[in-house]
Chain A
Amino acid sequence: MDLVSILWNGLAAFLTLCIFSILYKDNPFYKLAEHLVVGVSAGYFAIILYYNSFLPKVWVPVFHEHKFYYLIPTILGVLMWTRFSRKWSWVSRYPIAAYMGIGMGVAIPLTMQAFIIVPLHATMQPMGFTSLSLFNNLLVALGVLCALIYFFFSKEHTGAFGGAATIGIWILMIGFGAGFGLTVMGRVSLLIERFTFLRDYFQQLIGLL
């Protein structure tokens, strides 16, 4: 490990420990690391946006390739900034309207197709008890039906309807439990990566000394 790597990794290790210090109580080291991450992220994003968006999509097409129609979306984008002026904020409604119109026109049909119609079709599969996949399809269809019944509040949850709603709650709870378990795994993974980094860094440092 060369000196530059030692210093940069040392800074990363120091900031990691600063963040962990919040677990004991709030302190200036944690505040330093927190403010640093916000500032560095904002600065990094600004530079990325400049080199990856502004230069190839505005500067080069307009000033080098003379594709002046790129000025139309550029002006619409600049007009968005009038939002910050009390006097001129009404101007920003036009680019926002264009953006929302295009976004909704693109998103609504595809969202209906991808997140409602296709998953609904996936519940209408051959069902039965003769094989595992048929039984799985039956469980999926019943689970979806009972969970949806639980959220139907226009009828009182009594009798058979109430029974189905109760099964729906259990289905939802099983889903939440699986989600919680996966969330624990996800958060612990981040902790493992940080501890592994700290272990490797201090082992290398001790080895050098």
Chain B
Amino acid sequence: MGFYERLMTLDRRVVYLAMALAVAIPLFIPFGVPIYVTREVKSVYDFVESLEEGDRLLLAIDYDPNAMAELHPMALTISRQCFAKGVKLFFVTLSQNAPGMCEQLVSKLSKEFNKKNGVDYVYFGYKPYPGLVILSMGQNFRISFPMDYYGTYVDSMPIMQGIRNYDDMKAVIAFEAGWVADSWIRDANGRYKIPVALGVTGVMAADYFPYVQSKQIFGLMGGLKGASEYETLAKQEERIASRGMKVQTITHIVVILFIIVGNIGFFMSKKKKI
């Protein structure tokens, strides 16, 4: 078998090993990469930065643990920014595997900022059928969430006094790993006109840029890069996503090299046959 044919039929385990080394080695070498902030992420940051003490924001933690790597850093950073400014946060989750994870996030941050459940934030919990829940919250939060995640009636909470629906919120920032993002655009923004921003996985990001252009969402954070851009703007101490970007850079270079090698093998072996 010629050299170029061997390039074309490279054992995939060689590729896996190369990727594993490309990820593992940079983790032990301290270096940084520049992170350039895009307009879509800056829109979200500027909006959150413009909020004042007492303003209310709905955060939707709609991702499973398998998308945690990309979405958890942005959820943490935005929640910290809001708590530091005294913004009242309303957490909801519409993904069935997210409730425990969201509860961990809420507990961690409430201890960090000394925030009280029912006074400074509320965690509604999970309900199935995201589209119907999003529509019902536009009428009244109590339709889907008469009680919070911990079983406390929301009417007994000081934070819920005078709060009825989206009209009482400044915006929704939804962290999505699936089709629920479409529901937020269609049902929350389309029906009730509440401003919506999305944090999505890298796989989904390309599909949601058109909604920024059509102004159906006011900002978009895509994947680990979006999270690292937000962390760069927020300048907080914990920067999980930013630390991952140096590894991303190396692995992307490795992927590009494999694509080039594969294409050289393809064209040269094709040329040889002619």
Check A191/B19 contact, CB under 8 A, given A52-B127, A56-B147, A179-B207: yes
Chain A residues, CB < 8 A from B247: 188, 192, 195
Check A106/B189 contact, CB under 8 A, given A24-B13, A182-B222, A192-B23: no
**Does B219 sit within 8 A of A, measured CB to CB?**
no
Structural contact, B27 and A199, CB atoms closer than 8 A = yes
**Does B31 sit within 8 A of A, measured CB to CB?**
no
Instruction: Name B residues whose Cβ lies closer than 8 Å to a Cβ of A.
Output: 13, 16, 19-20, 23-24, 27-28, 66-70, 96-97, 99-100, 125-128, 131-132, 135, 145-147, 149, 151, 182, 185-187, 189-191, 201-203, 205-207, 210-211, 213-216, 222-225, 243-244, 247-248, 251-252, 255
Which of A23, A113, A115, A183 interacts with B13 by CB under 8 Å? A23
A-B contact pairs, 15 of them (CB 8 A): A103-B131, A110-B187, A118-B214, A119-B216, A186-B70, A186-B223, A188-B19, A188-B247, A192-B69, A192-B244, A193-B68, A194-B69, A195-B27, A195-B247, A196-B27
Secondary structure of the A side of the interface?
helix
Which of A23, A106, A178, A192 interacts with B224 by CB under 8 Å? A192
Structural contact, B252 and A182, CB atoms closer than 8 A = no
Chain B residues, CB < 8 A from A184: 202, 252, 255
Structural contact, A190 and B69, CB atoms closer than 8 A = yes
Chain A residues, CB < 8 A from B211: 119
Distance from A190 Cβ to chain B, minimum over Cβ atoms (Å): 5
Q: Please encode chain A, from 110 to 127, with 1 for each CB lying within 8 Å of some chain B CB and 0 for all others.
A: 110111001101100000
Give bound CA distance, A41 to B239, whole Å: 30
Structural contact, A110 and B206, CB atoms closer than 8 A = no
Given contacts A106-B135, A182-B223, A196-B27, 17 further A-B contacts (CB under 8 A): A48-B126, A52-B125, A55-B151, A60-B147, A61-B146, A178-B206, A179-B203, A182-B202, A183-B202, A184-B252, A185-B202, A186-B224, A189-B248, A190-B70, A192-B23, A192-B244, A193-B244
Give bound CA distance, A113 to B216, whole Å: 11
Interface size grouping (class) on chain A = 35 or more
Structural contact, B69 and A189, CB atoms closer than 8 A = yes
Chain B residues, CB < 8 A from A32: none
Distance from A184 Cβ to chain B, minimum over Cβ atoms (Å): 6
Closest to A199 in B: B27
Structural contact, A114 and B223, CB atoms closer than 8 A = no
Closest to B243 in A: A196
Structural contact, B186 and A114, CB atoms closer than 8 A = yes
Chain B residues, CB < 8 A from A53: 126-128
Which of B20, B68, B216 interacts with A114 by CB under 8 Å? B216
Closest to B17 in A: A23
Interface residues of A in 145-200 (CB under 8 A from B): 175, 178-179, 182-196, 199
Closest to A44 in B: B97
**Does A107 sit within 8 A of B, measured CB to CB?**
yes
Chain A residues, CB < 8 A from B16: 23
Distance from B129 Cβ to chain A, minimum over Cβ atoms (Å): 9
